[in-house]
Amino acid sequence: MKRLSVLFALILMPAAPVAFADGHAAGEVNAIVERIRKVGAVCVEGDACAAGATAAVAAPAGAAAGGIEGRYNATCGTCHLAGVGGAPKLGDTEAWAPRLAKGMDVLYESGIAGLAPAMPARGLCMDCSDDEIRAIVDYMVDTVR
Ligand code: HEC
């Protein structure tokens, strides 16, 4: 049966006999056939084969929808995760202490209006509402309280 499938591969795939003559095992020929087949495979939305692609496309949206933490990671995190330009990181008590002393209203205002020179207005999250910015600031501050 294996010989038969190899024979079919030889008939159907012009490239296969070359590989076979090189001394490749039948399994390798089958692997080549499999590889070539996949190039031409059509994957239509709704098919099982399309599920992976749909999931991959949906992933970024899922990350953005991951609540306040997701918002933080996707926007504020650009600077705050690594501490770019002195941006205070999550859980960095020392960096947050002088900021906490200013009071939450000032921190909310810094989040919404920005803080010169390096903290941009809305932390560059242009579609974040004021309430979302406040919630993200709460999330940041909660890690150092
Ligand atoms: C482009 C980089 C950058 C991004 C993006 C960014 N920040 Fe900042 N952020 C900074 C820097 C730098 C500071 C420190 C500013 C300073 O002390 O001068 C800062 C400081 C802050 C502070 C403390 C302000 C204060 O009054 O001490 C808060 C609160 C804050 N950011 C919230 C946010 C939030 C919320 C987001 C996302 C919606 C965000 N940041 C996105 C760079 C950034």
* 88 Cα to the center of ligand 1, angstroms: 7
Residue from 84, 119, 122, 139 to probe ligand 1 pocket by mutation (most atoms less than 8 Å from CB): 119
pLDDT at position 23 = 57
DSSP letter at 89 equals: P
pLDDT at 132: 97
Write the CA distances from 40 to 43, 76, 140, integer angstroms: 9, 42, 49
- What's the chain's average pLDDT? 78
pLDDT at 66: 75
Architecture of the domain whose range is 60-142: Orthogonal Bundle (1.10)
- Predicted local distance difference test score (pLDDT) of residue 17: 46
What is the average per-residue pLDDT within 111-126? 97
Residue of the nearest CA to atom 42 in ligand 1? 119
pLDDT at 38 over 60: no
Nearest CA to ligand 1 atom 27: 99
Q: Is the CB of 123 under 6 A from ligand 1?
A: yes
Residue 123: Cβ within 10 Å count: 24
- C-alpha of residue 87 to centroid of ligand 1, in Å: 6
- Can you give the pLDDT at residue 58? 42
Please tell me the distance from the alpha carbon of residue 60 to that of residue 42, in angstroms, as a whole number.
25
Tell me: pLDDT of 31 over 90: no
The amino acid present at 6, given as its one-letter code, is V
Nearest residue by C-alpha to atom 13 in ligand 1: 87
Q: Which of 95, 88, 80, 86 is nearest to 118 (CA)?
A: 86
pLDDT-based confidence at residue 42 (cuts at 50, 70, 90)? low
> What ranges do the domains of the chain cover?
2-41, 60-142
Find all residues with CB under 8 Å of 144, minimum gap 6, and list them.
Answer: 90, 91, 92, 93, 96, 97, 100
Amino acid (1-letter code) at residue 138: D
| Per-residue pLDDT tens digits for 57-112 | 444 443 445 799 999 999 999 999 999 999 999 999 999 999 999 999 999 999 99
What Cα–Cα distance (Å) separates residue 9 from each residue in 16, 19, 58, 131?
7, 11, 38, 63
